[in-house]
Structure formats: structure tokens, C-alpha cells
Structure 1
Amino acid sequence: MSRRTRLSVTALLLAVPVFLLAACAPGGGTDKVIGGPARAEEPSRVSIPSIGVSSQLIRLGRNADDSVQVPPLEKGMTAGWYTGSAKPGTPGAAVIIGHERIPDGKAVFHDLRKVTRGTEIDVERGDGKVLRFSVTDTETADPSAFPTRKVYGQTDSTALRLVTCAGDDPDPRGHPVENLIVYAELVAR
């Protein structure tokens, strides 16, 4: 890896945790989210049958401050694929972000904490191909200790990461105090 590439990857990894505060904030979200998929190999839907999740995916990029976009609160039942991550089915980690709750109640990833090792997650691409992933691990982390490299870093496997905020007791500002990350690997194309 060249020095320039290492610096770009390092800059990305250092900037990513900023999105978590926005994702957990009651007023989080952005008006810059664009619909998807733009290409056949991009994801268009995520499904987790065991917890009743079936969501179209919106495309998420970066905000003006270089933080990762999150779905706007008015789309609380819709998850989003971070376009700076891998395309599902290719080597690397595809990252899908969704809210756990919104001011009006439950959101798309409300029951994500119920998934366990072996839970199946299907990701449909724009070309209609469905990729099946199997959960390998889950992790709860304090936002200040978010495992950025583990979630967004390079991997030789074909992986999926689901990210949401969690925690039953919000901080004094009303923000959830934890992040929930679900790790999964491709098992069927």
C-alpha cells in the first residue's frame, strides 16, 4: 500500500466516528441522502426475516463536515448503505446504517439486538441478485470507543456490517449511550 493510500485510509478511519454522534442525536440525519441503487451491483434492500426487517436502502455519502451520512429521521424505517464501503458481494465490508428509534418510536433496526450468531441477513442488489450473509458476531461499544477499523477497515472477506445506536438509558441530551454493530460474512450468492 502506498503512503498516499495509507494516509487516505487513515483519514477516512479517523473521520468516521463523527457520524455516530449525528446518528444517535434526536435531530440527526441529513437532507443530502439520495435514493438508490444507482447501479446494478449496489444494494437496494436489506432483510432480516427473524426480526421482521425488510427495508429498501437509500444511498449514504458524506456530510459537508466529512462525517458519514445517516438516514434522516423522517425515514426512520429505512436503512442506508454507506457508498464509501464495499458493494455487497465484493471483498471488503459493506456497511448499512439504520436508526434504532426515532422520536415517534421504533425505527428499522429497533430489534437488531435480538440477532445472534447464525442469523441470516439477505441483501438484494439493484440487479435483483440476493446475497445471503450469516451473523458471526455482535458488539456493543461506547461511541467514544467505536471500533472504526473493525467496522470500516480493510478485510479480505466478503463482509457486512450493520450499525445502529442502542442502549435503554439515553444520556442527559437524549442520545443513546451505545452503538450496536452486527458483523456478518457472505454464505450464499
Structure 2
Amino acid sequence: MPSAHRPALSRARLATLTLLTLVSVLTGCSAGLDPTVRVVPSASAPGTPRSGQPAASDAPAAPAEVAVPSVGITSSLMELGLNTDGTVEVPPAEKGMTAGWYTGGAVPGEIGAAVVIGHNDTRFGEAVFHDLKKIKEGADITVTDKTGKALHFTVTATESVAKNAFPTEKVYGPTQERALRLITCDGDFDAQGHPVDNLIVYATAS
């Protein structure tokens, strides 16, 4: 299953956690925060007006489905938030064939990083992103929103990274692109039978 990583902090949380994080960085102690996380500006939550950006009434509709035709993936999208420890939720194992959209990032189609997370496999067997590792640069990813509008994204890169070195800022941090990231597990298994890496697919609006 995807790792429990923390996203780049939103402006709302930035104000309250800046001091704690600065202490963490200066002392070398994580103080309960993932030591790979640093305070970086990020997009506001979907629907929050931003300077030069549309008001909530003009914001893109929430995503309902993701499809990667080249590797045979099609899934509805559940909404994912944060766990109590600040890590990103993942779909429950019993819904392994359903991917999820992280609501704290951008809505697919708006400026910023939209993040979709899915399992490679679960205790129930192969899951929705099992074949994501077969995706190639230039492949199309289609996200359909709740109004039925199809948004197309082109894969620009993929990378496999150790879960303990997850590139939080690169994945969740601010960008002027209409970006999409797909995340699942990858790599060998540890002693507990969990994959040690994450596969990240980077794409931008076509």
C-alpha cells in the first residue's frame, strides 16, 4: 500500500506549525513531524479563493474517475484527507480497486499539484494501480469530473523512491503547472511484507 507520507503544509496549517517545525529543524529532532517534511508554501484547499485565481464558484468540479487506457486502469475516485497524525489517508484495503483523490491538494485541471493515490495490492489481492508500473512517458491519463467533463494529462516522468525518502515538496509543493501525480507502492518487500518504495507518476495537463 502507499506509504503514510505528509503533504506540503497548507497556508492554514503553516501559521500554526511554523514555530514547531523550525524548532524541529534546528534541533534535529522531528518533534512528532516527519523529518523529511519542511515548511513550504502550497496551494490552498480546493474552493479557497487565491490571488489571481477563480473564486470558489468558478473552481473546477471535483474529480469522479481516473483512467489510464494504456495500462487498462479505470477507477472511480473516493475523497482522501489527512489522518490524525498529519499523514495522507489511503483507500481502505477492502476498497483496493478504488483510487482516491487527496482533497488537500489541487483539483485536477486547476493550477497546482493534484494527487491521486491507489494500492498496488492488498491482502485481498491485486489492486487498482497494480499495473501502473507499466506506464510510459507520453501516456494519457484522463480524469473525469463530477459534471462529466474529461480532463487529459500527459505523463512527463516516473520515479521509484524509498518510502523513507519520499519527495514531499516535489509531489505536493507549489507549481504553476496544472499537474497530476499518481502514487502507489513499488519495489522489494521488507521483513513485514510491505513494499519499501513508492512509484510516483508525474503528468501535466494536455
With structure 2 as the length reference, what TM-score do the two structures score?
0.73
1:139 alignment partner in structure 2: 159
Which of 139, 146, 170 is equivalent to 1:119? 139
* Contact 1:93–1:155 (CA under 8 A) maintained in structure 2: yes
Q: Structure 1 residue 5: deviation in Å?
A: 3.8
Whole-angstrom CA distance in 1 between matches of 2:35 and 2:117 = 12
Q: Structure 1 residue 177: deviation in Å?
A: 1.0
Which of 88, 101, 105 is equivalent to 2:125? 105
**Map of 1:1-189 to 2, 5 A cutoff?**
5=11, 8=14, 41-167=61-187, 169-187=188-206
Whole-angstrom CA distance in 2 between matches of 1:119 and 1:9 = 39
Whole-angstrom CA distance in 2 between matches of 1:142 and 1:10 = 29
| Corresponding residue SS for 1:50 | helix
Runs of 5+ consecutive residues of structure 2 not aligned to the other structure = 1-9, 22-32, 38-58
Residue identity matched to 1:170: F
* Contact 2:153–2:203 (CA under 8 A) maintained in structure 1: yes
Q: Structure 1 vs Structure 2: percent identity of aligned residues?
A: 53
Deviations 1:71-110 (A, max 9, x none): 0000000000000010011000100000001112210000
| Corresponding residue SS for 2:82 | coil
Q: Structure 1 residue 9: deviation in Å?
A: 8.6
Runs of 5+ consecutive residues of structure 1 not aligned to the other structure = 19-38
Q: Structure 1 residue 45: deviation in Å?
A: 0.2
Whole-angstrom CA distance in 1 between matches of 2:109 and 2:16 = 24
Q: 1:9 to 1:138 in 2, by over 3 A?
A: farther
Q: 1:57 to 1:16 in 2, by over 3 A?
A: farther
1:31 alignment partner in structure 2: none
2:45 alignment partner in structure 1: none
| Corresponding residue SS for 2:108 | coil
| Corresponding residue SS for 1:149 | helix
Number of paired residues? 163
Whole-angstrom CA distance in 2 between matches of 1:141 and 1:53 = 22
| Corresponding residue SS for 1:173 | coil
| Corresponding residue SS for 1:177 | strand
Residue identity matched to 2:123: P
Q: Structure 1 residue 121: deviation in Å?
A: 0.3
